[in-house]
Structure 1
Amino acid sequence: MRTDMDMVLNDTSRRIAARRALQDLWQPGCDFLGSEVAILGGAMSWVSERHLVAAISNAGGFGVIACGAMTPERLAEEIVGTQALTDRPFGVNLITMHPQLNDLVAVCLAHNVGHIVLAGGVPSGATIRRIRDGGARVIGFTPALALGKRLVKLGVEALVIEGSEAGGHVGPVSLTVLAQEILPHLRNVPVFVAGGLGRGDAILGYLEQGAAGAQLGTMFAASEESIAHAHFKAAFLRANARDAVTSVQLDERFPVIPVRGLSNNGSRRFLQHQAETLRRFQNDELSREDAQLAIEHFWAGALRRAVIDGDIEEGSVMAGQSVGMVKAVRPVKDIIVDLIEQAVDALLRRDERLHNTHPESALVK
């Protein structure tokens, strides 16, 4: 007859086995990143700076600095500041359309940044070679299988596939579909999934489809270590998934890059601004070029106003649909621990079902 102690020991053994199974699943991602767990921090302008990046890396994940529109000098300061807060690996996200991209790459290499993430466009083969020749590893984004294969041929060593559920600038396809289209066919490089992720059991599902790890942004934007304004974080706590919507384009002649954020007075005024700009264009008050610039410049500085100044009514409160799962402002370490435990619990639940039907397949016999 099994004693209570036997049951405790068995439960402990099963949990250890489940942790080992999870580690095996994302070990390729950990090996590539040099981290304990294959969880990357999404690069969010004004949010992914030294404090949040270091906190993610110190908690066993992989933080990523969002360079955005920084100058090379400003990026150098941020890298040095991050290195003062952590001795663990972290990366830098560079926008490929930045006019000083080559200088930014040089700054990263000069400061021994081990991983550079190239986003916001298709990087050139020359840029990829420059990074790899300098001793850093290259991560790219792909919204489609064909581009992913092309990037790998160009020398990109790992990929992120980001679904439309993500916050900020997004593509049109959900992560659920992207994973099915890409993961079975790209096995020669680590592929990290992103977009709408807020729980470890969901991450586990993608790992079992072949992903090497996951990237999360929204969950970390509302963490204690995030420098985002208290009003910004409070907006996350109040929001539901349906509140995180993409910007609307009124006229196909004037394209609007889809950006997902919380609906507010600013997003409503953007629609009015587009309508007024279109009226002025149609009345020959504005040229097509000036009308396009007027639309594009509407949000200039809006993200900073929301993140730093706390203007959540007129600013751009970028957030993914996982915002509905943000229930409290918590330390980064607790967020990562919870993600791990949720994945382990999911493995244990499945193991229990297997044990009841096929005892020989259980984690611990």
Structure 2
Amino acid sequence: MTATPHLDAASARGREFLGTRHAIMAGAMTWVSERNLVSAISNAGGFGVLACGAMPPAMLEAEIAATRALTDKPFGVNLITLHPQLDELIQVCARQQVSHVVLAGGLPPGPAIAAIKGFGAKLMCFAPTAALAKKLVRSGVDAIVIEGSEAGGHIGPVSLTVLAQEILPVITDVPVFVAGGIGRGNAIAAYLDMGASGVQLGTRFAAAAESVAHDRFKQAFVRASAREAIASVQIDPRLPVIPVRALKNAGSDAFNERQREVAAAVDRGEMDLAAGQLAIEHYWAGALRRAVVEGDVETGSLMAGQSVGMVTKVQPVAEIIAELVAEAEAALARANAREAAA
């Protein structure tokens, strides 16, 4: 194993928290972050995270057990706070003695926090603002993830470069992991230098050799540039659209046209507002599965972050992590050398 003294020192807090060789987390991606990819990331020294998504409890339990059969290294489980069976899913994690739970999709309810802490897991939550990060820490959350708008999938309005400047200086009691647009090791080095304990990546891992995503999905990532990973737009303020970053394709173009059609139908009285909102909300139903599982890259949802421009080929996970680590170590070594010479 290549020595990385500068990176090890800079990421010591994150590595200790995760229990891993490197403080590189994987984002939890529905239909992608399952046993094969998660175990490959953990086996390569990173920290894989299972995406529960809409799984029922029995399916999550089976997936955790299957992942354990493929790795003896630490990994986490991502749960969505709005899942109707959240309590049962937490019980599954308790039975399976999951070491780390990531709660996503909104402010976590107090009973969920207490239940997760109660069985001894380390709890990680997302914070879009410094104020919310402080509130989460006060409620007992063990680590914070801040994710910028450069990320793929559901996104907030603020870039990671701004969030890091706002949040890293004021959240020091717990580790903070940063996410969104990270595709190279020199960015990892920069955020560690700013005070991050580690990083989270999704897009590069989605196109890894071990990812179960359809080959057409992966090749779309290889071909894409950063500017093709666009956030969905809301055409009419009456018809809410939750921003999602994905590769521009025929489906995203058709979605914009569908918004215009629905808005016009509401204006003409052919559809009431509630029905129009439901039509917009349901437009993308099943679209991510179509893209990832079936390889429908034309009308499916190709959720990808802006770091997709740094996906130049399908690579094994171990190779991706080795590249990131070598780049980060080199960047930190250069910085240390400049400081020593000053």
Q: TM-score range by the shorter chain?
A: over 0.9
- The reply to whether residue 104 of structure 1 matches residue 89 of structure 2 is yes
Secondary structure in 1 matching 2:233: coil
Question: What's 1:85 paired with?
Answer: 70
Corresponding residue for residue 316 of structure 1: 301
Contact 2:289/2:300 (CA < 8 Å) preserved in 1?
Answer: yes
**Alignment partners' CA distance in 2, 1:238 and 1:145:** 36
Amino acid at match of 1:89: P
Matched, 1:48 2:33: yes
Which among 55, 58, 61 is matched to residue 43 of structure 2? Answer: 58
The aligned residue for residue 303 of structure 1 is 288
1:23 maps to which residue? 8
Written as runs of structure 1 = structure 2, the 5 A alignment for 1:336-355 is 336-354=321-339
Report the equivalent of 1:189. Answer: 174
One-letter amino acid matched to 2:255: F
Instruction: State how far apart, in whole Å, the 2-side matches of 1:34 and 1:349 are.
Output: 27
Whether 1:114 aligns to 2:132 is no
- Alignment partner of 1:287 is 2:263: no
Conservation of the 8 A alpha-carbon contact between 1:125 and 1:155: no
Amino acid at match of 2:31: W
Counterpart Cα distance in 2 of 1:198 and 1:284: 48
Q: Which residue of 1 aligns with 2:252?
A: 267
Q: Please state if 1:34 is matched with 2:19.
A: yes
Contact 1:94 1:116 in 2 (8 A): yes
Structure 2 CA distance for aligned equivalents of residues 244 and 124 of structure 1: 32
User: Which residue identity lines up with residue 95 of structure 1 in the other structure?
Assistant: I
Q: 2:227 aligns with which of 242, 250, 254?
A: 242
Equivalent residue in structure 1 for 2:131, among 136, 139, 146: 146
Query: 2: CA distance between counterparts of 1:259 and 1:177?
Result: 19
Which aligned segments of 4 or more residues in structure 1 are displaced greater than 2 angstroms?
347-355
Give deviations 1:216-263, integer Å, cap 9, x for gaps.
000000000000000000000100000000001001111100000000
Percent of aligned positions that are identical? 59
For the pair 1:166 / 2:151, whether they are aligned, the reply is yes
RMSD of aligned alpha carbons: 1.1
- Provide the C-alpha distance between the structure 1 equivalents of 2:323 and 2:245, rounded to a whole number of angstroms: 25
Q: Deviations over 1:290-325 (max 9, x none)?
A: 111100100000000000000000000000000000
Say which one has the larger Rg: 1
Bigger shift: residues 20-29 or 232-241: 20-29
Contact 1:264/1:313 (<8 A) preserved:
yes
Find 2:261's aligned residue among 267, 276, 292. 276
SS of equivalent to 2:11 = helix
Partner of 2:211: 226
- SS for the counterpart of 2:78 is strand
The one-character-per-residue Cα deviations of 1:151-171 (angstroms, maximum 9, x if unpaired) are 111111101000000000000
TM-score, normalised with respect to structure 1: 0.92
CA distance in 1, matches of 2:311, 2:75: 24
Partner of 2:120: 135
Q: 1:299 aligns to what SS in structure 2? A: coil
Q: Does 1:157 align with 2:137?
A: no
Q: Given the alignment of the two structures, is residue 200 of structure 1 paired with residue 185 of structure 2, yes or no?
A: yes
Deviation string 1:39-93 (CA, Å, 9 cap, x unpaired) is 0010000000000000000001100001111111111111111011001110010
Partner SS, residue 252 of structure 1:
coil
Pick which of 128-137 and 342-351 moved more.
342-351
Q: Which range is displaced more, 26-35 or 257-266?
A: 26-35
Partner of 1:7: none
- Contact 1:69-1:98 at 8 Å conserved across structures: yes
- CA distance in 1: counterparts of 2:99 and 2:186, whole angstroms: 29
Residues 6, 333 of structure 2: 8 Å contact kept: no
